[in-house]
Chain A
Amino acid sequence: MNGDPPQRLVTWALATFHATLFVVASVLFAYTRGGLGSLLANLNTLVGLGLFAALWATTFLTTQRALEGIDVLGTMDDRAFVRRVFRWGAANGMAFLAVLAVVFLVGSLAAIPAGSGPGFLLFAAFAAPFALVVSAAVGGAVGAVLGVIDLGLVRLARRLSAENN
């Protein structure tokens, strides 16, 4: 990890903040809409833990790249920050989709009987470009929303620390 200790702490905190807030807010939304039980029924505990760990890892790597050259603790260009988190949010969406695809493909290949045709793989190859576009759009939108929330919280942090300097 690059940067001085406070910058490394900022990267670690922002990445975990994004992954945690996204997942907890999504669970809260799904639960109040009544769709969480059926979703959890289809999700193996180990797979669920693994998917969160994968999202955490891809979010950390993309946050690290997004914050390169940006001084969150000092002065920064807010628009450039939101543009950067939008772009790297899209990259995170695609990276997470790639992890999901690997898990799904390995699981599906293990489940289909030996000697079956390549139809499943052809379908996956056909759907992949569309899925990548959708994942980039969703990741970019989530990144932009989180970026705006970040800006508000960064301002609050400056106020908390400036009053006493």
Chain B
Amino acid sequence: MDVHLLHLAVRWLHVLAMAVALGGAALVFVLAARARQIGVPAVALLQLAASYEWVFWLAAGTLAMTGIGNLGAFGAGLPSPQTGWGTTLVVKLSVVVLLVMLSLPRTLAVARLAFAAPSHVADVLRTLYAFTSATFALVVAIAIWLAHG
């Protein structure tokens, strides 16, 4: 297999997974924030959030898998953690660990809320997905810096 083509495919999959995860979180956040104005019922909002959680974890696993693949393309030429690039990578990976750890309670909270579907569920979802979107946006900003900085 052409190694260049493989690395390109891995990067494409990485960017696609990030776009789906960030875009999905932003969509749920916007709908939760405007739920009362546009008349989205709590049950529909929870169904959308639960669907997003399935996709989120698929994207998270794909991002981890392809992220290692992207680092693998550096091989022995991977910059040291003492360089500016290396320090930024450490920050990025630390933010990813934080995002993954705080995403599990979000998923479990959505699954628990699905049993009751309280009328003010939009407020909870707005907070949860605002944090997810903001953290993902931070990871993307760091990733862009790593790729082009």
Contact = CB atoms under 8 A, between A and B. Distances in A.
Contact of A31 (B73, B90, B114, B120): B90
B84 interface: no
A4 to B, nearest CB: 10
B76 interface: yes
A118 interface: no
Interface string A38-73: 101101011011001100100000000000000011
A75 interface: no
B64 A23 contact: yes
Interface residues on B, range: 35 or more
A40 B57 contact: no
Contacts, number: 151
Given A36-B78, A41-B75, A46 B1 contact: yes
- By DSSP majority rule, is chain A's interface helix, strand, loop, or mixed? helix
Nearest to A15: B57
B68 to A, nearest CB: 6
B58 to A, nearest CB: 8
Interface of B: 1, 3, 6-7, 10, 50, 53-54, 57-58, 60-61, 64-69, 71-78, 80-81, 86, 89-90, 93-94, 96-97, 100-101, 103-109, 111-116, 118, 120-121, 123-124, 128
A9 B109 CA distance: 11
Interface of A: 5-6, 9-10, 12-14, 16-17, 19-21, 23-25, 27-28, 31-32, 34, 36-38, 40-41, 43, 45-46, 48-49, 52-53, 56, 72-73, 149-150, 153-154, 156-158, 160-161, 163-165
